[in-house]
Amino acid sequence: MCSLFTSARTTRIAQWSVWTRCRASCSGHVREPTEAKPGTPRRHDHHYERNGTVNLFTFFEPLANHRVVLTRDRRTKIDWVRCIREVLDTYYSGAQKVVLVMGNLNTHGLSSLYEAFDPAEARRLAERLEIHYTPEHGSWPVLAEIEQSVMVRQALSRRIPDRETIKQRTTSWQKQRNASGATVDWQFTTEEARVKLRRLYPKIDN
């Protein structure tokens, strides 16, 4: 798993964080906040009204410093495969194969493609994917989790009243962060994993 992040492969390496997808809450102000002015910080009432939730699917390609955030009302297997198709056909139309690292959930399998699309379309998408699942209780290799944490702090820290506003903020954040070349400085190697995580490796008796 660790070697994927530093591999000099000809195929473009991609990551898709589904297990750590955000569920952003839509909440509005009961009273309009008082904007900041010299000597006085911005103030808002602690009371708020709930307007539902939005699911954010985050895609991150660490070697290219590129990320995509897609908003959906739900997080079913059908939503997942539709996001997969959008990313493959829109952002990776020229890539022959995309390496996908993600959490190991029962909804995150190639069989889900056949439940959403006709067999020919499902096979077309499946043949372009090379899937690697993170270990059980080991989602830390999914670098998109770090990107989601940054997104929440930078773009979603205030109350947001509806899905459309969340989409506008995450899209703006995505474009700005891609343009700045921001990335994740991954330094954990396979050799270090064998030492620090040796208790997780199977023991073979001589």
pLDDT digits 0-9 by tens, 110-130: 899 999 999 999 999 999 998
DSSP readout, 27-39? EEESSPPBPPBTT
Give Cα 190 to chain centroid, integer Å. Answer: 23
The tens digit of pLDDT for each residue in 129-186 reads: 988 887 766 555 567 788 888 898 998 888 888 889 989 999 999 999 999 988 777 6
Q: What is the pLDDT of residue 169?
A: 92
Q: How does DSSP classify residue 40?
A: B
Segment 15-22 shows an average pLDDT of 46
pTM of the full structure: 0.73
CA separation for the pair 99, 194 (Å, rounded): 23
Q: What is the pLDDT of residues 53-93, one digit of tens each?
A: 888 888 888 778 888 999 988 888 999 999 999 999 998 88
pLDDT bin (cut points 50, 70, 90) of residue 33 is confident
Residue from 103, 187, 173 nearest 138 by CA: 103
At residue 24, φ and ψ (nearest 5 deg) are -80, 135
